[in-house]
Chains A and B, each alone.
Chain A
Amino acid sequence: MAEVLFFIAGIGAIAGAIGVVRVANPFYSVLALVFHLLSLAALFLLLRAQFVAAAQVVVYAGAVMVLYVFVVAYVGGEQMPVRPAGGPALQIGAIVFAGALFVELVIAFLGSSLQAIDTDGAQYDPGFGTPGQIGELLLTKFLLPFEVASFLLLIAAVGAVVLARRRGGIIQQAQGTPLDRPRPLGTGTMAEAVGILLPEGSGLKEEPEDEREKGGW
């Protein structure tokens, strides 16, 4: 049973990864990454890491991917480069590099002479991978990394706000509203608010254009 689940989830994870790299439209790349993350969460469950699998689905496939989808929708597809980078030489070179990296990693893993690498893993407590165990570790043994991680999240949030805020001069100034124009004394925003700019017979009249240009008042 575990073998069947492993192969389904593993093939799903690798197919999702290939989809991220090869699909032209970035929106479909994001969807392929969501599929990859869900398959990976199944692999995490097979490794008895319940809490990490749940965090993967909720934080990654939920929150982070929603952020990606928003940015892809905001930036849009018209500015996206269509042609691949660097031409065929870089394409083939990248595939060769990825293959060499894979071979090297597999040799490093399997040649590491770790005794337990061919086993199903060591004996573990009944509470292995549960939120209780993770929380206890985070608040006792790994308290400093926990606090540093929270501080890192704060820095990242502030940095993202600073990076993405509107700066003066980049966005076109909005056209002036009628209230910004100079107007004769005796007319005010109240009259304009009810839609009467210059009532008949009130003795007030619109300033001529040339005097308004002079800005005499």
Chain B
Amino acid sequence: MSIAWFLVVSAMVFSIGAGGVLTRRNPLVVLLCLELMLNAANLALLAFSRMWGNGDGQVFAIVVIVVAACEVCIGLGVVVAMFRRRLPVDVDEMTELSG
């Protein structure tokens, strides 16, 4: 398979994730859509790594996985804190910091 096909799949998954971030109101699902976008970036990184025959892109993909794990950790902590304070679990209702 040529590398371009993988890049097209990556672009499609990234677009779907971006659309999901815009349309969903549940912070859990927004985090899931962010995961989609990070995974699309991972796929592009690995495709380019394969294109050059060089392992650097794979190390970069592993770093992206680490960053995604950290982001999930903090994001879910925020969701749990919102739930504990009886706040609505809804990104449109959380407007206190928006000025």
Task: Please give the residue numbers on chain A whose beta carbons come within 8 Å of chain B beta carbons, in ascending order.
Answer: 2-3, 6, 10, 13-14, 17-18, 20-21, 26, 29-30, 33, 36-37, 40, 43-44, 46-49, 51-52, 55-56, 59-60, 63-64, 67-68, 71-72, 74-75, 79-81, 84-86, 90-91, 93-95, 97-99, 101-102, 105-106, 109-110, 114, 116-125, 128-129, 133-134, 137-138, 141-142, 145, 149, 152-153, 155-157, 159-164, 166, 170-171
Q: A-facing mask of B46-59, CB < 8 A → 1, else 0?
A: 11011111111011
16 further A-B contacts with Cβ under 8 Å, apart from A26-B26, A102-B11, A163-B77, are A13-B13, A17-B17, A26-B29, A26-B32, A36-B36, A43-B43, A46-B1, A60-B35, A74-B83, A81-B26, A81-B88, A86-B23, A98-B22, A101-B15, A102-B15, A118-B2
With A47-B46, A47-B49, A122-B52 given, is the CB distance from A90 to B77 under 8 Å? no
Interface residues in B, total, Cβ within 8 A: 74
Across the interface, name the chain B residue whose C-beta is closest to A63. B69
Q: Are B11 and A20 in touch, CB under 8 angstroms?
A: no
With A68-B28, A110-B4 given, is the CB distance from A49 to B69 under 8 Å? no
Q: Are A84 and B11 in touch, CB under 8 angstroms?
A: no
Q: How far is the CA of A171 from the CA of B85 in the complex (A)?
A: 9
**What are the residues of chain A within 8 A of B88 when measuring CB–CB?**
79, 81
Which one of B49, B71, B78, B83 has the highest number of Cβ atoms from chain A below 10 Å of its Cβ?
A: B49
**What are the residues of chain A within 8 A of B31 when measuring CB–CB?**
68
Q: Are A101 and B84 in touch, CB under 8 angstroms?
A: no
Minimum CB–CB distance for B28 against chain A, Å: 5
With A68-B28, A114-B51 given, is the CB distance from A160 to B74 under 8 Å? yes
28 contacts between A and B (CB under 8 A): A20-B29, A21-B16, A21-B19, A21-B29, A26-B28, A43-B6, A47-B49, A49-B49, A49-B58, A67-B73, A79-B90, A81-B26, A81-B90, A84-B24, A86-B92, A93-B22, A97-B22, A98-B16, A98-B18, A101-B11, A106-B11, A109-B11, A118-B2, A118-B3, A120-B3, A129-B58, A138-B59, A155-B70
